[in-house]
């Protein structure tokens, strides 16, 4: 594992690391923010999953999360959004293939060879992080859009593994919107029954743990009605009795200006759970 960036930031260190991923069978980068408190002892970790077209860079450059992580003493880990490399399958569209891993484990050719972002985020990456950085076992997870889908699905699939979860403008029901249907058909095949294992609104019905969900959604988000449909998450949570705080933020769009405006409240939410 090789460190390729290191910047002092709010009294801590914003780093980017590169490593050979056995899960994804390619070279991967991830970002880690070490707050000042990490110099004195282990800190809880918040995993951040980014959206379509992003790399490990977008969140660390644009969200302004380091200020709050330095206040609360949280390590932030932001992986890339898909496997990368010349031998990794790709698609012409920006919503499938590289930059669009959807945080699942693909079962169909040619995708199954590398596209195992779920396994990577849940297993390989935390093991790597815990081996190299001063972390406790307290983990939270959050993300934006495709990464909001990833955060919700991963927390729901792994009861007990995460103490807190939140999302910004998540794709809550990928099986029922164009982005998700295109990606799931490619990665998982046409049998929609197999899609249920990667759909937050389906997983909530049978969740073994009632981890409260915090979701912010911009009211002026250009993808609100076509791709995001937070009302489907609300309906699923109401039907299952799953605790949900869903906040519609009037006027906010799908950009990092929206994330930056509310990331402080999300980090406070995670800090309460991770340090409590």
Peptide bond into 114 cis (omega under 30): no
Stretch that binds a copy of itself, among 16-24, 41-49, 64-72, 161-169 (CB under 8 A): 64-72
Is 260 a binding residue for a copy of itself by CB under 8 A? The answer is yes
Instruction: Catalytic residue, from 149, 242, 254, 266: name it.
Output: 254
Q: What's the DSSP call for residue 267? A: H
Q: Which is nearer to a copy of itself, 72 or 116 (CB)?
A: 72
Q: Which of 41, 160, 251, 276 binds a copy of itself (CB under 8 A)?
A: 251
Is 20 a binding residue for a copy of itself by CB under 8 A? The answer is no
Give the rounded distance of the alpha carbon of 240 from its chain centre.
23
Residues 66 to 95 in contact with a copy of itself, rule: CB under 8 A: 66-67
Q: Which residues contact 23 (CB under 8 A, 6 or more apart)?
A: 116, 119, 120, 123, 124
54 Rama sector, left if φ>0, alpha if ψ -120 to 50, beta otherwise: beta
Q: Which of 218, 228, 267, 274 binds a copy of itself (CB under 8 A)?
A: 218
Least distance between a copy of itself and beta carbon 20 (Å): 27
Stretch that binds a copy of itself, among 63-71, 98-106, 190-198, 239-247 (CB under 8 A): 63-71
Is 253 a binding residue for a copy of itself by CB under 8 A? The answer is yes
254 counts as catalytic:
yes
Determine contact, residues 154/103, Cβ cutoff 8 Å.
yes
Is 36 a binding residue for a copy of itself by CB under 8 A? The answer is no
Beta sheet of 26-34, edge-to-edge order = 2-9, 12-21, 26-34, 75-79, 43-49, 135-143, 164-168, 213-218, 244-249
Q: Which of 50, 88, 252, 271 binds a copy of itself (CB under 8 A)?
A: 252
Instruction: Catalytic residue, from 80, 114, 221, 242: name it.
Output: 221
Integer angstrom CA distances of residue 44 from 34, 130, 147, 152, 209: 10, 10, 20, 19, 21
Other Cβ atoms within 10 Å of 189 Cβ, number = 13
Determine contact, residues 23/124, Cβ cutoff 8 Å.
yes
Q: Which is nearer to a copy of itself, 3 or 7 (CB)?
A: 7
Least distance between a copy of itself and beta carbon 17 (Å): 16
Least distance between a copy of itself and beta carbon 265 (Å): 12
Q: How far apart are CA 50 and CA 37, in angstroms?
A: 25
Q: Which of 220, 239, 248, 268 binds a copy of itself (CB under 8 A)?
A: 220
Least distance between a copy of itself and beta carbon 264 (Å): 8
Q: How far apart are CA 106 and CA 109, in angstroms?
A: 8
Give the rounded distance of the alpha carbon of 244 from its chain centre.
18
Q: Which is nearer to a copy of itself, 162 or 256 (CB)?
A: 256
Q: Which residues contact 40 (CB under 8 A, 6 or more apart)?
A: none
Please identify which residue in the block is written with the tokens 């927390």: 155
Stretch that binds a copy of itself, among 102-110, 153-161, 163-171, 254-262 (CB under 8 A): 254-262
Site for a copy of itself, rule CB under 8 A: 7-11, 14, 61-62, 64, 66-67, 218, 220, 249, 251-253, 255-258, 260-261, 264
Active-site residues: which are they? Answer: 145, 221, 254
């Amino acid at each position: 594992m090789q460190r390729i960036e290191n910047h002092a930031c709010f009294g801590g260190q914003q780093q980017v690391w590169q490593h050979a991923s056995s899960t994804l069978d390619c070279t991967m980068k991830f970002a880690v923010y070490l707050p000042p408190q990490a110099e004195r002892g282990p800190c809880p970790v918040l995993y951040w999953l980014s959206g379509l077209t992003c790399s490990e860079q977008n969140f660390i450059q644009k969200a302004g999360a380091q200020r709050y992580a330095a206040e609360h003493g949280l390590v932030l880990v932001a992986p890339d959004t898909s496997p990368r490399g010349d031998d990794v399958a790709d698609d012409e569209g920006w919503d499938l293939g590289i930059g669009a891993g959807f945080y699942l484990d693909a079962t169909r050719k040619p995708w199954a060879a590398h596209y195992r972002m779920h396994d990577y985020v849940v297993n390989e990456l935390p093991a790597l992080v815990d081996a190299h950085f001063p972390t406790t076992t307290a983990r939270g997870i959050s993300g934006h859009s495709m990464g909001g889908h990833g955060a919700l699905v991963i927390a729901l699939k792994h009861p007990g593994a995460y103490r807190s979860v939140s999302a910004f403008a998540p794709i809550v029901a990928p099986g029922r919107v164009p982005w998700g249907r295109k990606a799931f058909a490619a990665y998982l095949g046409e049998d929609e029954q197999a899609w249920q294992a990667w759909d937050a609104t389906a997983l909530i019905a049978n969740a073994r743990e009632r981890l409260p969900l915090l979701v912010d959604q911009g009211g002026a988000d250009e993808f609100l009605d076509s791709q995001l449909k937070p009302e489907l998450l609300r309906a699923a949570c109401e039907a299952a009795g799953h605790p949900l705080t869903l906040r519609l933020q009037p006027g906010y769009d799908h950009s990092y200006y929206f994330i930056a405006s509310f990331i402080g409240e999300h980090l406070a939410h995670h800090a309460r759970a991770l340090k409590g």
